[in-house]
Amino acid sequence: MTERVVEVVGVYNADGGVLGELAYAVGHLTGRTSCGLCDATHRGVRRKPAWDEMTAGLPVPVRLVHRNETTDAERAAAERAGLPVVLGVRGDGSLTTLVPPDRLAAAHGSVDDVGDAIRSALDDEGVA
C-alpha cells in the first residue's frame, strides 16, 4: 500500500540567498525567469498573507524551499517534474508530484488557484 502524504514541499524556480534572490528579481523583471510558485506565495519581497492563511487550513504542513536548499531526494524529484513544483512527502520519505509547473503557471499567481490544486491533489492521495 502507498504511504500517505505527510508534508507538502514547494520548490521555487530560484536560488535562496541574497545573490539568488537578486538574480531571480533581475531575471523576472527582464522576462528571462519565471516561477509560478513565487508568484503565488509572494508579492514583491513579502509573502502574501493569503498564502499563510491558505496553508494553515491544509491537513499537512507546508514547507517552501529554494532549488539550492532542497535535499538530494527533493532535488531529484524536482528535476523529474520540472520547476517550480509542489511535492508531497510520503510517510516512508518517498516523494510524489502534487502540483506540476504548468499548473502553477496557469494559476497566474492566484493563491486560491494554487490552494485548490494542492487540496485536490491531497484529496486524490487520500489525505483528509
The tens digit of pLDDT for each residue in 7-66 reads 999 999 988 777 767 666 666 667 777 789 999 998 877 899 999 999 999 999 999 999
Residues 50-107: tens digit of each pLDDT: 999 999 999 999 999 999 999 999 999 999 999 999 999 999 999 999 999 999 999 9
Secondary structure letter of residue 42 according to DSSP: E
* Per-domain residue ranges of the chain: 5-124
Q: What pTM, to 2 d.p., does this model score?
A: 0.90
Secondary structure letter of residue 48 according to DSSP: P
Name all contacts of 17-26 with Cβ < 8 Å and 24+ positions apart. Answer: 17/66, 17/68, 20/66, 20/68, 21/45
Q: What is the pLDDT of residue 26?
A: 64
The CB-side HSE value for 27 (13 A sphere, CA atoms) comes to: 14
Cα angle 103-46-111, degrees, rounded to a multiple of 5: 30
Secondary structure letter of residue 112 according to DSSP: H
Q: What separation in angstroms does the CA of 111 have from each of 18, 36, 100?
A: 25, 10, 15
Residues 6 or more apart from 15 whose CB is under 8 A from it?
Answer: 21, 23, 24, 66, 67, 68
Largest CA distance in the chain: 47
